[in-house]
Structure 1
Amino acid sequence: MNLKGKTILITGGASGIGFEAAKQFLEIGAKVIVTGRNQDKLNDAKKRFPNLTVIKSDVSKAEDAKALFKKVSELGGIDILYNNAGVGVPPMNLGIPNEKHIENAAYEMEVNYLGVIRLNNLFLEMLNSKKDAAIINTTSILSYVPSLTEATYSATKTALAFYTKSLREHLRIIKSNIKIFELLPPVVDTEMTAARTDKKITPAELVKALISGLQKDQYTIRVGDSKIIYFLHRFFPKLAFGLVNPKNSEQSLKK
């Protein structure tokens, strides 16, 4: 896929992976629109890269999604929708009753899964009108093996992975020209993982691999340890589970 000249909408694009993606897409000649919930972060992103178009929007809110679609349409539309926005909650022991369990699960599901479907439904017709269009969904290494400390987050990413594969096939059957990409990051060094001490890759490394995969029409883009865990979970599931969930993760649930 040729990315130069394409207009790309990145959700959660004011910081972390989304901001790095905006930076690298601009560098190769794409036009970039980023969204986020934090206006200060959006303002900072715009200050650092004046060519960015920034729009405040929360993917978990239906009214925000509709308003975003209207603004993007007024700007001339997009060629690529990059569903990057995601949230995670602090570790909790699901074996101990807590009112926060359902609240946290609903929050993560609303942003990480339902928010993606909401935006895809809004933008599919627009993307179908383009000769070379794409949707990028960010799942996770945890869509293969669940994390004990990120149980509902893992569940949302697994749901999104299955949805992504199904959407790709549905569009193939109806002969749509929209390409569906799945990005599977390992642990990435962002604000969300700041407290973690395990192995991480930088957002720059992840986005570089993403762009390479897009340019090669590689629809499933596994990066770093995601490649290893993909293999291990198929043939050595217990080993894969142990690598994702070392003993110190069990200790964190007891605190």
Structure 2
Amino acid sequence: MDLNGKTILITGGASGIGLEAARQFLAIGAKVIITGRNQNKLDAAKQSVPSLIAIRSDVDNQDDATALFNEVNELGGIDILYHNAGVGTPGLNLGTANVQILENAIYETNVNYFGVLRLNNLFLNMLKSKAESAIIITTSLLSLVPGIEEPTYSASKVALGFYTKLLRKDLEILDSTVKVFELLPPLVATDMTAKRNDKKISAQELVKALVSGIKKNQFIIRVGDAKLIYLINRFFPKLAFNLVNPKKIYNSLR
């Protein structure tokens, strides 16, 4: 897929992976619109990359999503919708009775899963009208093997992974030209993972792999340890689980 000349909307684009993706897409000739719920971060992103178009919007809110669609439509529409927005909450032991477990699950699922469906329902017809268009959805290594410290995050990404596969197949059945890419990152060095001491890759490395995969029409893009865990999990699922969840982390859940 040729990214040059495409207009790309990136959710969660004001920092981290989203902002790095915006930089790399701009560098290869795309027009980029970023959105996020934090106006200060959007202002800072716009200041550092003046060619960006920044629109405040929360994927968790239907009114925000509708307003975002209307504003994007007035700007001429998009060719690519990149679902990058995602949230994670502190890990809790599911074996304990804790109201926070339910609250975390609702919050993470609303953003990580329903936020994707909410925007797709609005933008899908626009994307179908384009000669070449795409939807990019970020799932996770944890959609392959769950993380014991991120139970609700893992569950939301599993749901999103199945949705992504079925969306791609349904669009094929409809003879649609909309391409659906799934990005499966390992742990990435961002603000959300700043307190983690595990092995991480940079946002630059992740986005470079994403861009390469899109150009080659590689619809499932596993990066770094996500490739390794995918292979191990196919044949040795217990080993894969233990690699993702070393026993040293168990004490944090007691």
Q: Deviations over 1:154-197 (max 9, x none)?
A: 00000000000000000000100100000000000001111110
1:58-77 alignment, distance < 5 Å: 58-77=58-77
User: Using the alignment, how far apart are the partners of 1:210 and 1:251 within structure 2?
Assistant: 35
Q: Deviations over 1:114-156 (max 9, x none)?
A: 0001101110000000000000000000001000000010000
Q: Which residue does 1:132 correspond to in 2?
A: 132
1:18 aligns with 2:18: yes
Q: Which residue does 1:190 correspond to in 2?
A: 190
Q: Which residue does 1:49 correspond to in 2?
A: 49
Q: Which residue does 1:123 correspond to in 2?
A: 123
User: Using the alignment, how far apart are the partners of 2:50 and 2:198 within structure 1?
Assistant: 35
Per-residue deviation, 1:234: 0.7
Which amino acid in 1 is paired with 2:115?
G
Per-residue deviation, 1:247: 1.0
Per-residue deviation, 1:94: 1.4
Per-residue deviation, 1:97: 0.7
Q: Which residue does 1:224 correspond to in 2?
A: 224
User: What TM-score, normalized to structure 2?
Assistant: 0.99
Gaps of 5+ in 2: none
Q: Which residue does 1:33 correspond to in 2?
A: 33
1:160 aligns with 2:160: yes
Task: List 4+ stretches of structure 1 deviating above 6 A.
Answer: none
Which amino acid in 2 is paired with 1:204?
Q
Q: Which residue does 1:237 correspond to in 2?
A: 237
Q: Deviations over 1:172-229 (max 9, x none)?
A: 0010010000000000000111111010000000000000000000000000000000
Per-residue deviation, 1:99: 1.0
SS in 2 for 1:197: coil
How many percent of aligned residue pairs carry the same amino acid?
Answer: 65
User: Using the alignment, how far apart are the partners of 1:251 and 1:166 within structure 2?
Assistant: 38
User: Using the alignment, how far apart are the partners of 1:109 and 1:249 within structure 2?
Assistant: 24
User: Using the alignment, how far apart are the partners of 2:75 and 2:183 within structure 1?
Assistant: 27
Q: Which residue does 2:96 correspond to in 1?
A: 96
Q: Deviations over 1:3-41 (max 9, x none)?
A: 011000000000010010001101111000000111010
SS in 2 for 1:142: helix
SS in 2 for 1:250: helix
Q: Deviations over 1:22-67 (max 9, x none)?
A: 0110111100000011101000000011110000000000010000
SS in 2 for 1:20: helix
User: Using the alignment, how far apart are the partners of 1:128 and 1:44 within structure 2?
Assistant: 33
User: Using the alignment, how far apart are the partners of 2:225 and 2:104 within structure 1?
Assistant: 27
User: Using the alignment, how far apart are the partners of 1:137 and 1:234 within structure 2?
Assistant: 22
Which amino acid in 1 is paired with 2:199?
K
